[in-house]
Amino acid sequence: MKHPCSNKVFTVCSLIGLYYSVISLVFFVSILTCRKDAKDFSRILPLRLLMVIGCLYISIVAMLISFCGGHYFLLTDKYNKNGILFYLYLVVSFPITLYAVAQFPLYLDLVKIVWKKVPPPKY
């Protein structure tokens, strides 16, 4: 028996994933095309990079949930009798979890940089 909510989960999460991946792409392009003045490196660029990484994390999680919801919707009658879908989702989410764990220190450093008061340079 198919769960009535899995189609909605797939639809909503795929839309959220698309939306946040486009936002992260636009912010990546804005980082590449900025003036790159010295004052931009203190506040604007770290804030944009923080927003890019945050949107990218949200997009990756939404796409993973969308993938699992769509496959659950299609394969639940055939393969869910012995619980193999749970292990499939676990295997699929492992590399994404490794990526998130590897990039999380960068995210924390950016949070510290953006909200830390930096004194102006003395010439």
122 part of a folded domain = no
45 part of a folded domain = yes
Total domains in the fold of the chain: 1
Q: Let me know if 100 is exposed, middle or buried by CB neighbors in 10 A (0-12, 13-18, 19+).
A: middle
Q: For 15-61, how does the pLDDT look when each residue is reduced to its tens digit (9 = 90+)? A: 999 999 999 999 999 888 888 777 777 778 888 888 898 898 899 88
Give the closest residue to 89 by CA, choosing from 110, 119, 63. Answer: 63
Cα–Cα distance, 83 to 81 (Å, whole number): 6
Backbone angles phi, psi at 95, to 5 degrees: -65, -35
1 part of a folded domain = no
- pTM exceeds cut of 0.85: no
Q: For 60-83, how does the pLDDT look when each residue is reduced to its tens digit (9 = 90+)? A: 889 888 888 877 777 777 776 667
120 part of a folded domain = no
Range of the domain at 99: 6-114
43 part of a folded domain = yes
